[in-house]
């Protein structure tokens, strides 16, 4: 396995718009990873920013709010607006993060799950395992989807 390809998958999995759900198909279809390798490196890459985000969002937002009026107004607006629509999080707490992260739709995923945990005040020790569970589900669904499509659709030149 090419170390450069591994680094590419790790980096792409760590980015907010790509995450593991797009890095896994790239790893399998283009870079020649086995499904297990793609799943593993995609999940590891996706997890790296989650820990940092969960630990740093609150102190960084507090710092910015104290230093700049713009950020203070922004975070006040964000908290007020988001908490008005918080029925699911109030009912399910941290468990609401699992489907939120697992469902492969635009504006969902680990980065958004971290933002939701921050906004709804879900503590690190609850947010990390639930976001990770959602990431595992999303990565597994992506890996199974790619391998299923490969089995159903013959590759060009394979006939």
Q: Please check whether residue 157 lies inside any domain of the structure.
A: no
Q: Where are the alpha helices (DSSP H) in the chain?
A: 3-14, 19-29, 35-67, 69-84, 87-92, 97-102, 110-119, 124-152
Q: Please check whether residue 102 lies inside any domain of the structure.
A: yes
Q: Please check whether residue 159 lies inside any domain of the structure.
A: no
Q: Rounded to whole angstroms, how far apart are CA atoms 113 and 155?
A: 36
Q: Please check whether residue 47 lies inside any domain of the structure.
A: yes
Give per-residue pLDDT as tens, 107-133. Answer: 789 998 998 898 888 999 999 999 999
Q: Please check whether residue 26 lies inside any domain of the structure.
A: yes
Q: Please check whether residue 48 lies inside any domain of the structure.
A: yes
- pLDDT at position 84: 63
Task: Please state the domain count of the chain.
Answer: 1
**Predicted TM-score of the model (pTM):** 0.85
Structural domain boundaries enclosing 64: 3-152
């Amino acid at each position: 396995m090419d170390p450069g390809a591994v680094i590419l998958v790790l980096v792409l999995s760590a980015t907010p718009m790509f995450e593991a759900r797009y890095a896994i198909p790239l790893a399998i279809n283009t870079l020649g990873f086995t499904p297990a390798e793609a799943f593993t490196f995609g999940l590891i890459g996706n997890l790296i920013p989650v820990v940092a985000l969960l630990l740093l969002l609150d102190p960084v937002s507090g710092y910015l709010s104290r230093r700049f009026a713009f950020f203070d107004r922004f975070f006040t607006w964000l908290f007020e607006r988001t908490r008005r629509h918080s029925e699911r999080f109030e009912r399910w707490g941290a468990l609401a993060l699992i489907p939120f992260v697992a469902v492969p739709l635009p504006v969902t995923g680990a980065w958004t799950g971290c933002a939701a945990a921050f906004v709804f005040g879900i503590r690190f020790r609850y947010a990390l395992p639930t976001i990770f569970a959602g990431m595992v589900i999303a990565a597994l669904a992506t890996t199974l989807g790619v391998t299923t499509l490969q089995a159903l659709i013959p590759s060009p030149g394979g006939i």
